[in-house]
Amino acid sequence: VLIRLCDTLHESCTVDDDLWESLTRYHSDEAIIELLMLAGYYRMVSYLVNGLRLPLEPGAPRFTDFNDGRPAKSVAT
């Protein structure tokens, strides 16, 4: 359900009633709010890093290390 939450937020920036109900089966309202804030924070950092075109840290793993050598679409997402 957490992957579904992340995918849905990425695609539509919202949580429908069905997804909210699924989330409440496993998490408290407080935890769901924290998950939403974490996803929003990650997106904010991604926009900032990509918008400023910050260089990758030396020695940090690259997305190409994990996706069969295909290039990543952006630095932080």
Domain ranges of the chain: 2-65
pLDDT of 59 reads 85
Q: Which residue from 58, 59, 53, 57 is spatially nearest to 74, judged by alpha carbons? A: 53
Q: Give the model's pLDDT for residue 77.
A: 46
Across the 77 residues of the chain, what is the mean pLDDT of every consecutive 10-residue run? 94 96 98 97 93 90 70 51
Give the pLDDT of residue 52: 96
* pLDDT (0 to 100) of residue 67: 65
pTM of structure: 0.70
